[in-house]
């Protein structure tokens, strides 16, 4: 089908949604974005935790100083309408960017454009690219020991801005070349932070669920959801700085994100975790999350914004 992309209140065809090569956001990495899962159950289409995703978008724009001349309500309505116009979509992606052609790092024309796309990744993107897409339901992970993330004194990790992903791309690309699916970063003091586009959870030998504090990582919506589910499930949880040694002794490790949802890590630095199989607590949280996504759990029905 012909996908339509919402740009500042008007719809354009997928292939016509373009920006100049010399635009500020392309040249300087000043693009803020959000990525929202879309779930369809018995013909009912829902956006996952829409309010939280839009709130994070506005927080990122405000922190980075990127202007956004819409209200949260405007953006929510535009997202819903875009999803309606693009049936069969699995994700909605919102981009806020400075499209003007600039020569300075501070834009002369500091006006943002907002674009919203809704699509099915396999059909609309992956199948049309020339190279195989790397995917795995269970992950082999490299712990990055040299390139530290995240640095509050450079770009706050909570800002979902394109420039925040450059060093992650470089490190993950190298990890892929070395045969790994994913990569986990530490901060400059050696504490576990997150993966390039995912939050990290560890189950230690005492069956305590560990994850890094919010001030050190991206405001992950799936992360937030797993913490709420864990509390409901009476799983003991600690949100605190995690020494890298916890990875060596972990019973279970998993990643969370809008694309991964809940994805087990079965190997770290070529060393099996839990004998190379997904663990009990990981499965328990993942299964609960999947039931919620299928609207089979009335306790969390408010997380699904029906469009």
Q: CATH 3.30.470.10 residue ranges in the chain?
A: 4-127
Is the domain spanning 4-127 CATH 3.40.50.300? The answer is: no
Q: How far apart are CA 280 and CA 277, in angstroms?
A: 10
Q: How far apart are CA 16 and CA 260, in angstroms?
A: 29
What CATH class does 139-297 carry?
A: alpha beta
Contact 45, 83 (CB under 8 A): yes
For residue 153, what pLDDT band results from cuts at 50, 70 and 90?
A: low
Q: CATH 3.20.10.10 residue ranges in the chain?
A: 139-297
Q: Per residue in 28-81, pLDDT tens? A: 999 999 999 999 999 999 999 999 999 999 999 999 999 999 999 999 999 999
Q: How far apart are CA 77 and CA 307, in angstroms?
A: 9
Q: Per residue in 206-265, pLDDT tens? A: 999 999 999 889 889 999 999 999 999 999 999 999 999 998 889 999 999 999 899 999
């Amino acid at each position: 089908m012909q996908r339509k992309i919402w740009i500042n209140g008007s719809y354009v065809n997928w292939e016509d949604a373009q920006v100049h090569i010399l635009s500020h956001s392309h040249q300087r990495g000043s693009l803020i974005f959000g990525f929202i899962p879309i779930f369809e159950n018995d013909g009912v289409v829902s956006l996952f935790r829409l309010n939280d995703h839009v709130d994070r978008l506005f927080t990122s724009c405000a922190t980075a100083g990127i202007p956004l001349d819409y209200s949260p309500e405007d953006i929510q309505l535009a997202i819903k309408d875009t999803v309606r116009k693009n049936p069969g979509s699995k994700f909605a992606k919102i981009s806020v960017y400075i499209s003007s052609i600039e020569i300075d790092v501070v834009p002369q024309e500091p006006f943002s454009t907002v674009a919203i796309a809704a699509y099915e990744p396999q059909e609309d993107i992956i199948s049309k690219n020339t190279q195989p897409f790397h995917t795995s339901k269970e992950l082999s992970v490299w712990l990055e020991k040299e390139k530290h993330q995240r640095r509050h004194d450079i770009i706050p990790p909570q800002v979902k801005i394109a420039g925040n992903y450059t060093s992650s791309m470089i490190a993950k690309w190298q990890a892929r070349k070395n045969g790994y699916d994913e990569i986990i970063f530490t901060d400059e003091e050696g504490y576990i932070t997150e993966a390039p586009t995912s939050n990290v959870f560890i189950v230690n030998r005492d069956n305590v669920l560990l994850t890094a504090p919010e001030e050190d990582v991206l405001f992950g919506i799936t992360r937030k959801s797993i913490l709420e589910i864990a509390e409901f499930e009476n799983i003991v949880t600690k949100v605190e700085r995690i020494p890298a040694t916890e990875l060596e002794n972990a019973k279970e490790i998993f990643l969370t994100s809008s694309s991964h949802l809940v994805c087990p890590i079965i190997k770290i630095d070529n060393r099996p975790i839990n004998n190379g199989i997904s663990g009990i607590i990981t499965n328990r949280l993942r299964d609960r999350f999947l039931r919620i996504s299928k609207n089979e759990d009335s306790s969390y029905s408010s997380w699904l914004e029906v469009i």
